[in-house]
Amino acid sequence: MEELGLNRRVAIVTGAAGGIGRTVARELAKSGMFVAAFDCDVQGLYQLESELKEDGSDVAVFQVDIRNRTEIESVVDQIEAELGPVEVLVNVAGVLRMGNVNNLTDEDWEQTFAVNSTGVFYLSRSVSRRMIPRRRGSIVTVGSNAASTPRMAFSAYASSKAAAVMFTKCLGLELAQYNIRCNIVSPGSTETDMLKLLWKEDERSEDRCINGVSEDYRLGIPLGKIARPIDIAETVLFLVSDRSSHITMQNICIDGGATLGV
């Protein structure tokens, strides 16, 4: 899509093997970008690679543990040398560990932050260091509406996403002088495998998700529907494109009004 100004730009997408990350990778590739897809799920990466190459899109896949800063530096160096300068980073990779605080294990807490917060820091630091001398680039972090609304059994996940959101805003402030934009997209309930983890087989879980659950202090969704991964991906596409050239440090919430615009 020439009008988006994205042709042949190199984009790194983390968590690209499934869910929102897979859709983001596909939409960026369709727009003309060369997508470097990161994930620890090798099978999912190869499926994505096959799908995109069949469509004539440019993609390279990398098995990467975003908790490992040494591994990240090595792969980013490889991409810069072999594919070209990274102009877009989309931090999508995330994990969900649920449990009330008194039952939450140290490992649950540490691994949630390692992926959802520290991984965002490692990738963003690595890529932005290379963007700064070129004075261009765009970073988008996929957060969550849980970052601003308390949820039962969500303390680790919500806290890690809140950290990633504020980190991205601070990064955007620091990088604005170099013409590098940093924004956040915060989904609510979205049709992914992660959402299905929250649903119980003996309940009409989708209806409860849309209508809310008062005993769990869970708000409903005013638009009356669950988001699709494409809803998130299209917003990411806008934020990395030239159409949003004067937008930075913003958090766009895509939750059908579930958090009431707060």
Full set of structural domains in the chain with CATH: 2-254 (3.40.50.720)
What is the model's pLDDT at position 191?
Answer: 83
Handedness of CA 175, 118, 42, 27 (dihedral sign): negative
- The answer for 90, left when phi > 0, alpha when psi is -120 to 50, beta otherwise, is beta
What is the model's pLDDT at position 201?
Answer: 46
Query: Which residues share a beta bridge with 208?
Result: none
Confidence of residue 1 (pLDDT cuts 50, 70, 90): very low
Tell me the mean pLDDT in the region 164-171: 98
pLDDT tens per residue, range 58-71: 999 999 999 999 99
Alpha helices in 56-118 (DSSP H): 69-82, 106-113
- Give the integer Cα–Cα distance in Å for 213 and 40: 34
Q: Could you list the active site residues?
A: 157
* For the ranges 81-90, 146-155, 189-198, 201-210, the one whose mean pLDDT is highest: 81-90
What is the model's pLDDT at position 262?
Answer: 78
pLDDT, mean over the chain? 91
pLDDT tens per residue, range 97-132: 999 999 999 999 999 999 999 999 999 999 999 999
pLDDT at 93 over 70: yes
* CA-to-CA separations, 171 to 34, 177, 234, in angstroms, rounded: 24, 11, 23
| Structure token digits, residue 251 | 């958090």
**pTM for the predicted model, two decimal places:** 0.92
Q: Measure CA of the first residue to CA of the last residue in the chain; give whole Å.
A: 34
- Give the integer Cα–Cα distance in Å for 13 and 241: 15
Q: How many CA atoms lie within 13 A of 172 on its CB side?
A: 21
- Give the integer Cα–Cα distance in Å for 111 and 169: 23
Stated length of the chain: 262
What is the model's pLDDT at position 195?
Answer: 53
What is the model's pLDDT at position 64?
Answer: 97
Query: With pLDDT > 70 as the criterion, what percentage of the chain qualifies?
Result: 88
pLDDT tens per residue, range 238-251: 999 999 999 999 99
3-state secondary structure of 53: helix
pLDDT tens per residue, range 187-210: 998 887 655 555 454 454 556 666
